């Protein structure tokens, strides 16, 4: 079975493909090669980010270059998209220029789905609105496993703006696939109206969520996706109602790793002392920068798998 030509969501992958990516990323981490993989017939990898990005875009650029691919920076702000050209015409132009794979971020949920019927080239979803961010979830799982967390039979609490987070949606799909239980926690306006999976529980009680979890994954409140709510009360109250601080964790006697996909709002969803405290075997700790480090190896694995159509 071939790897999908378009990685739009976690639902495009099966468990064997996820396991392949985890093993491949581990290979890049522990057995780096001295020479690029593509020394001849170099593929062209482009990025097209219609929303701002630091972590995702930069890690894909580095991943492509470390593999020996030719990298093309497609800048939407200075492209014909500004003249009214649609995304399909843009993709066909890039294909004609020799692009083999494009990483795209868009504000429109599901915008990449129509291309699955007739892919112009390989496409990786770098985040589409509130829908999905599959590569973030994959690198998160890789980081968790590399730092000792065993998903099957354990519980992670995702605390924050779960309803409006594409990262959360991808994590639900991926982590339940590998047997992890999930507690979604946040103010009522930040939670889905119904449980999205049998292994997912909803609560607004942050103490309950922390006490019943083995790992914490924090999300920012995405004000830009709450336009219809305006400045809801939970924005200003959030640090006290749901913010994860060192004091709160110590009071609850929880020694758990803390994750965040970034950008983090220090003093809102995560306390400064938690954010600045790297994890070790004996203390509470923050693993956000480990997620950033592991993103390179996972995204190298994804690019390789898609270009070579592995499994």
Position 311 scores a pLDDT of 43
Task: Give the whole-angstrom CA distance, residue 220 versus residue 230.
Answer: 16
Pair 95, 192 in one domain: no
Pair 258, 303 in one domain: no
Q: What is the average pLDDT value for the chain, to the nearest integer?
A: 91
Pair 153, 280 in one domain: yes
Position 93 scores a pLDDT of 94
Position 84 scores a pLDDT of 86
Pair 50, 173 in one domain: no
Pair 71, 162 in one domain: no
Task: Report the CATH number at residue 219.
Answer: 3.40.50.1370
Token reading at 133: 């961010």
Total of domains in the chain: 2
In a domain, 142, yes or no: no
Query: What global pTM score does this model have?
Result: 0.94
Pair 31, 153 in one domain: no
Pair 303, 277 in one domain: no
What does the pLDDT average to over 123-149?
97
Domain membership of residue 25 as a residue range: 6-132+295-308
Residue 71: other Cβ atoms inside 10 A? 16
Pair 28, 156 in one domain: no
pLDDT class of 282 with cuts at 50, 70, 90: very low
Position 279 scores a pLDDT of 61
Residue 93: other Cβ atoms inside 10 A? 15
In this predicted model, what pLDDT tens digit does every residue of 32-42 receive, in sequence order? 776 677 777 89
Separation of first and last alpha carbons in the chain: 5
Q: Is the dihedral of CA 7, 26, 307, 17 positive or negative?
A: negative
């Amino acid at each position: 079975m071939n790897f999908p030509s378009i990685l739009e969501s976690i639902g495009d992958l099966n468990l064997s493909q996820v396991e392949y990516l985890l093993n491949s990323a581990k290979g890049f981490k522990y057995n780096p090669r001295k020479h690029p993989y593509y020394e001849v017939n170099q593929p062209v990898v482009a990025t097209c980010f219609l929303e701002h990005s630091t972590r995702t875009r930069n890690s894909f650029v580095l991943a492509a270059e470390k593999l020996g691919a030719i990298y093309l920076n497609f800048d939407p702000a200075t492209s014909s998209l500004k003249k009214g050209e649609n995304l399909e015409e843009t993709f066909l132009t890039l294909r004609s220029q020799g692009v083999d794979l494009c990483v795209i971020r868009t504000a429109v949920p599901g915008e990449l789905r129509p291309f699955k019927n007739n892919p112009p080239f390989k496409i990786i979803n770098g985040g589409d609105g509130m829908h999905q961010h599959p590569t973030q979830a994959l690198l998160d799982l890789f980081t968790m496993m590399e730092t000792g967390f065993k998903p099957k039979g354990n519980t992670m609490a995702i605390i924050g703006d779960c309803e409006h987070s594409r990262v959360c949606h991808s994590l639900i799909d991926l982590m339940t696939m590998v047997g992890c239980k999930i507690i979604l926690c946040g103010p009522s306006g930040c939670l889905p109206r119904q449980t999205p999976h049998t292994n997912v529980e909803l609560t607004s009680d942050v103490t309950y969520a922390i006490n019943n979890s083995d790992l914490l994954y924090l999300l920012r409140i995405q004000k830009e996706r709450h336009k219809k709510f305006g400045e809801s009360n939970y924005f200003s109250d959030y640090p006290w109602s749901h913010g994860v601080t060192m004091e709160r964790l110590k009071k609850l006697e929880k020694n758990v790793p803390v994750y965040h996909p970034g950008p983090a709002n220090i003093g809102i969803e995560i306390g400064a002392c938690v954010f600045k405290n790297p994890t070790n075997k004996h203390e509470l700790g923050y693993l956000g920068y480990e997620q950033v480090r592991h993103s390179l190896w996972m995204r190298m694995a994804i690019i390789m798998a898609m270009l070579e159509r592995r499994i």
